[in-house]
Structure 1
Amino acid sequence: MKKTVIIALALVASFAGFAQTWNIDKSHSKLNFTVTHLLISDVEGSFKNINSTFTSSKADFSDAVIELTADVNSINTDDENRDKHLKSPDFFDAAKYNALTFKSKSFKNVGGKKYKLAGDLTMHGVTKPVVLDVVYNGSAVHPYSKKTVAGFKISGTLKRSEFGVGTATPTAVVGDEVALVANAEFIKD
């Protein structure tokens, strides 16, 4: 029995060694959001400072474990006054909750290059499960670094009210639904 347990542990350890780590290429990645303003137009923004990694041992990434952190103080809507207001306690309260984080629970192929990414999103001190759509754009060898890179487009929607963001602001002023779109390029270590 003891020998079987040791062999099983050795096999698990050997499989773990095949997992590859991928780090986000910040210069070729962006985390964007869109929200409706006054029920008539969309306002777009992004988080300028993001960090993300994933590990996977399968060629189709179906076992990927993904983590992302965005610095709330890096929010940018191309309007300095609006950005300051979004960082205030009226919305994100960046002094108290300075990071938005995501940790995956599953990454399932739903056909071809399409995936469903499920995980926990923590924002404004509230953690909720979310499911995002992912399109794997492919992989290539970077011509200068000679490293393998992979591209993904991630999208989904969430309700800001569920995270306690801007709850005093009526949805007729700032919509409750927030669309997320991330274009991410990762470099294999």
Structure 2
Amino acid sequence: MFKAITAITAIALLSFTLPFAASWKADNVHSRFGFSVTHMGIATFNGSFKDYKLTLNNPGADFTDATVELTAEIKSINTDNSMRDEHLQSADFFDAAKYPQLTFKSTSFKKTGAKTYKVTGDLTLHGVTKKVELDAIHVGNAVNPQSKKDMAGFKVTGVIKRSDFGIATGFPTAALGDEVTITGDFEFIKD
């Protein structure tokens, strides 16, 4: 009798946690990975990366202790101006020929509030790896009405310094701000 109750309890617990113990991938059609920086101290310009892969692996029931991995192709940078995009890909900025990708791998994903998280990890950009801290908000969950797959939404923000990564060292901060705001609105689909 004890073995039967233990088996039933184990099955119940497993069935409760299995929906989350999986891999979730960002649906890039309904997501955006971008940045913003000040120009000449008077305006902010925004950009995004069109070609990226982002996964959220093995999260707990409330997404605590998930691992996040992101890879973005530098040549996919888009600021709605092709001349500027080409300049950003050049050696003056990201040097896409030498450093074709940026990557982020989380080392910690901790809950800080009812829907808030602190995500810490290693960002590799322009051949330099630095520890960064990002803020994440769990916007909510849904089920896709067509595919019937579980979905989760997150908003992610953080600030890095371009000087920490050796980007655009020839441009003074009066012309191009040193602080770059990272923004992400991600819709994840469970595999």
- TM-score (normalizing by structure 2): 0.89
Give the alignment partner of residue 177 of structure 1, picking from 161, 176, 179.
179
Corresponding position of 1:116:
118
Q: Is the 8 A contact 2:59 2:67 kept in 1?
A: no
Give the alignment partner of residue 153 of structure 1, picking from 126, 148, 155.
155
Q: Is the 8 A contact 2:50 2:76 kept in 1?
A: yes
Corresponding position of 1:5:
none
Q: CA deviation at 1:58?
A: 1.3
- Counterpart-to-counterpart distance in 1, 2:145 and 2:49: 28
Runs of 4+ that moved beyond 6 A: none
Percent same amino acid at aligned positions?
55
Corresponding position of 1:10:
none
Number of equivalences: 174
Against the structure 1 CA distance between its residues 38 and 111, is the aligned structure 2 distance closer, same or farther, given a 3 Å change threshold?
Answer: same
Higher strand share: 1
- Counterpart-to-counterpart distance in 1, 2:65 and 2:118: 12
- Structure 2 residue 99 is matched with structure 1 residue 78: no
Unmatched segments (≥5 aa) in structure 2: 1-13
How is 1:32-47 mapped onto 2 (pairs within 5 angstroms)?
Answer: 32-47=34-49
Corresponding position of 2:134:
132
Q: CA deviation at 1:41?
A: 0.4
- Counterpart-to-counterpart distance in 2, 1:36 and 1:58: 38
Against the structure 1 CA distance between its residues 161 and 149, is the aligned structure 2 distance closer, same or farther, given a 3 Å change threshold?
Answer: same
Corresponding position of 2:92:
90
- TM-score (normalizing by structure 1): 0.89
Helix, strand or coil at the partner of 1:84: helix
Q: CA deviation at 1:57?
A: 4.3
Q: CA deviation at 1:97?
A: 0.3
- Counterpart-to-counterpart distance in 1, 2:42 and 2:65: 41
Q: CA deviation at 1:56?
A: 1.9
Q: Deviations over 1:44-103 (max 9, x none)?
A: 100011101111241111110110011100001111111111000000000010101000
Unmatched segments (≥5 aa) in structure 1: 1-13
